[in-house]
Structure 1
Amino acid sequence: MKIYGITGWKNAGKTGLMERLVTEITGRGLTVSTVKHAHHSFDVDQPGRDSYRHRAAGAGEVLLVSGTRIALMQELRGAPEPPLADLLARLSPVDLVLIEGYKQCRHPKIEAWRTSAGNPLIAPGDPTIRAIATDTPADVASQVDCPVLNLNDTSTIADFILRELDL
């Protein structure tokens, strides 16, 4: 399995780019899975549902299964967040895993960056960032030593990632 990340600050366009890339790359016949890092607590379950009640009662893992989907919920209960490599090992084999977030991890990434978000670029101090995808390529090109791509040109960004990974 090959991995590639999309990183950037909040409101930089990461999730929209991830969504478009999954559509573009799967449309080319490749299989794709995703990993999304959240910096806050979240819950994919709903209070009152059976699976929620199982977790609330103390279950460490709850596997929810239907004819259309499987969801494994694991409670850390104070344990540290697992490393990305451990999480990737749990995924079924695919051609590509796209990773949203995980700024500090050492896999190759594209930085999503929007002028309107008002955040500094991450790329100048991070050699794992291989390109910038931005809404203002002309403003960014002089600030970095890597390719600058148009944030809205999903096909070109997909080409770049797939070429980098020999896919």
Structure 2
Amino acid sequence: MRIYGVTGWKNAGKTGLMERLVAEISGRGFTVSTVKHAHHSFDVDHKGRDSYRHRAAGAHEVLLASHHRVALMQELRGAPEPPLSELLGRLTPVDLVLVEGYKRERHPKVEAFRAEPGNELIAPRDDTIRAVASDTPLQLDRPVFDLDDTRRIADFILAEVGL
């Protein structure tokens, strides 16, 4: 599977860009999956639901299935967070996996950048960032796209991964 990342600081526009890229690339007929890194605790289940009760009772894995979707929840219960490479291995093969976050991993990435939060660019110090998608003009040693130019960013990523 080919992987490509979208990275950047908080409020840089990563999730919006990811959403638009998934729609654009899958709209071109490619299969796309995503991996999103969270720096905080999260829950995809709700207290009181049967599956939540299974996990709360101590289940290591809970698989929830219907005719619309399948969700597999795994509790780490003190084990270390699995590395990205292991998580990618759990996915069903697709044409492209878009990865949000995982700044320190070595896969190629586009940095989402907005001037407003006042964060500095990551790209000048990170050679895995192959382009920047920005809401402000920038002079860099790599391509800079308008943050909202999803079509051109998708073209760039697809060319980079050979699709």
Task: Give, in whole Å, the separation in 2 of the partners of 1:127 and 1:120.
Answer: 16
C-alpha RMSD of matched pairs (Å): 0.5
* Map of 1:4 onto structure 2: 4
* Map of 2:153 onto structure 1: 157
Unaligned runs of 5+ in 1: none
Task: Give, in whole Å, the separation in 2 of the partners of 1:55 and 1:118.
Answer: 41
- Give the residue type in structure 2 aligned to 1:72: L
Task: Give, in whole Å, the separation in 1 of the partners of 2:141 and 2:58.
Answer: 50
Measured against aligned partners, the alpha-carbon deviations of 1:76-128 in whole angstroms (never above 9, x if no partner) come to: 01110000000000000100000000000000000000000110100011000
Task: Give, in whole Å, the separation in 1 of the partners of 2:123 and 2:75.
Answer: 34
Unaligned runs of 5+ in 2: none
More helix by share: 1
Give the match's secondary structure for 1:21.
Answer: helix
In the alignment of these two chains, the number of paired residues is 163
Alignment of 1:130 with 2:153, yes or no, is: no
Correspondence 1:7-46 to 2 at 5 A: 7-46=7-46
- Give the residue type in structure 2 aligned to 1:3: I
Q: Which runs of 4+ in 1 moved over 2 A?
A: none
Correspondence 1:54-73 to 2 at 5 A: 54-73=54-73
Alignment of 1:49 with 2:49, yes or no, is: yes
Alignment of 1:103 with 2:112, yes or no, is: no
Q: TM-score, normalised by structure 1?
A: 0.97
Task: Give, in whole Å, the separation in 2 of the partners of 1:153 and 1:10.
Answer: 20
* Map of 2:81 onto structure 1: 81
Q: TM-score, normalised by structure 2?
A: 0.99
Give the match's secondary structure for 2:116.
Answer: helix
Task: Give, in whole Å, the separation in 2 of the partners of 1:163 and 1:156.
Answer: 11
Give the match's secondary structure for 2:24.
Answer: helix
* Map of 2:144 onto structure 1: 148
- Give the residue type in structure 2 aligned to 1:125: R
Task: Give, in whole Å, the separation in 1 of the partners of 2:117 and 2:28.
Answer: 32
TM superposition shift of 1:145: 1.4
